[in-house]
Amino acid sequence: MTKRILVVEDNDLNRKLFCDVLTASGFQVEPVADGKRAIERARDFSPNLVVMDIQLQDISGLDLIAELKQDSMLAGVPVLAVTAYAGKGDEERIRSVGAEAYLSKPVSIIPFMAAVRNLVEP
């Protein structure tokens, strides 16, 4: 069965890159540009993984991860957090709200796909 990945990213180029790479690797992908719609889309799509930008324009990715982890339908879905602002203590903060993995932007394809496969393939 094809694994489903929800990509929450408000930057058009990054969202397209993530989706293209994931689709080319055989995943079913659902892009979300509006962070405020991410939880609703996740419930409808039932992803096996969420790729979450932390610096969204309309809502904090940290808040969205925490909300995902508190939702009974979505709590078990792993989250790969990606952010352009990788400062001291950021990884700990991101993991403390529930993200299973973290990558800083710019994201290289090989580490990105390794992180994705690590989270969706047992």
Burial (CB < 10 A; 0-12, 13-18, 19+), residue 45, is middle
105 secondary structure, DSSP code:
S
pLDDT tens-digit series, residues 66-98: 999 999 999 999 999 998 876 778 888 999 999
Number of domains in the chain: 1
pLDDT tens-digit series, residues 17-75: 999 999 999 999 999 999 999 999 999 999 999 999 999 998 999 999 999 999 999 99
Strand partners, 48: none
Q: 21: domain CATH number?
A: 3.40.50.2300
Domain region containing 94:
4-120
User: How far from 94 is each of 11, 44, 54, 98, CA to CA, in Å?
Assistant: 20, 25, 8, 7
- pTM above threshold 0.75: yes
